[in-house]
Structure 1
Amino acid sequence: APHHGRTPVVMNAVLWVLFLPAAGLGAAVGWLPRWFDGDSLAPTLVTSVLGTGLALVGILLTYATWRHTTALARPAVRPFPAAAVPAHPGTGEPARSEAEAIATHEPAYGDIASAPDPADPGRLLLGPLHRHAAAGFHLDRLYSAVFVRPVRAAARLVGFLDREVVETYVRGAAAGPGLLGAAVRRAQTGNVQTYLGALLAGSVVLAVAAVLVATGTGA
């Protein structure tokens, strides 16, 4: 529609990606048999009949479903909850209206796969599978359980080890020199007599140690 703005480039790119290989294979239908066993790739009578029959069955089934759901919807027309209506249906990007509709669907109806809409053909075609199909057959939940939760748990473990183990060693390595520096700084009083007394005491200790070593060696 004109009020929806320009079609996103991504959507056009997907269509081109689907169209170009199909058009290329269709144009090369005359050369493709040479790349294989040389047999014709044209459909046989059996495959043509089966393909046409299945296509007709699909068309008739779709038409019957549409008529059936339309008939169900006529007597059940009623206003939908306000929360299920997009807040900005005619403004902004189409993705914004779609995101608003998806975000407000579950609060309005209680379930992402539930809505009082008898005209929904998916309910008739899928039957009991509709609820699971609307939830993506729970693949998101499976992906979250198999990949997202283990990765987050591993990330929390790595964060804990980094915070409580690695940083503890780093803080300890930094605290040791700090304490040694504080002890040495206490000895730096600036009093020359204290320095001379410490030097004399150290000399006496060294002399006594030398005498003891010499006496022990001589014995």
Structure 2
Amino acid sequence: MDKLIMPIPAKQRGKIAPDYFAHVVLKTSRFKKMLVWHKTVFEAQVSYEFETAAFLTFDNEHHRIAIANIPLLFPRWKLSAGVDHIAFTYGSLEKLLLNYERLKGCGILPGWCIHHGATVSMYYVDPDKNWFELQVDVFDSPDKLLAWAETPDFQMNPIGVDFDPDDMLAKFKSGTPVKELMEREQGTTRHPSSMPTAYLGIVHKCLLKLHYWFGPKQK
């Protein structure tokens, strides 16, 4: 498949599928630090907490994030297969930027800010090195997204263009139209090895660079 499509939802295809995504469970040996970080980042409250776990929510769901207190866990290894990051969507660029400002005041900064084209995204990393993408959708309809995905801009650079969150916040506060801020700057062809070292890990980044330099070239 060489183009972006919007598949028909399972319900419309007459299939039984989950109604919605419910929650994420994280295991940690840094229970208190993780609890504070996730409560702060997501403006979450604890619905239930005991010695071995805590359940947090920021909406009407009984819990969106659960944190299990498990001693003697090893740190995450970047070269392992598995979940890369978990994403949460905000309803507007204003909310995303004001949340960035709030978290900066708490000493929590994103490790990577990138305009993917489809989303404006800020990636945060928790005390256990789990990555969370806080994002806002650029397009207000699937048709507009699909139309953009047909452009050379997306075909050339599906990863995205990095941006300075302080610069974007300052422009927003000075009255720059949101539509203008949501437009992605023209980028160049981008290889995964160009992603931040903090995100990839130094060993994986070096291996990706070697693969880029000496591996098979895509046609």
TM-score by length of 2: 0.21
Indicate the structure with greater strand content: 2
Indicate the structure with greater helix content: 1
TM-score by length of 1: 0.21
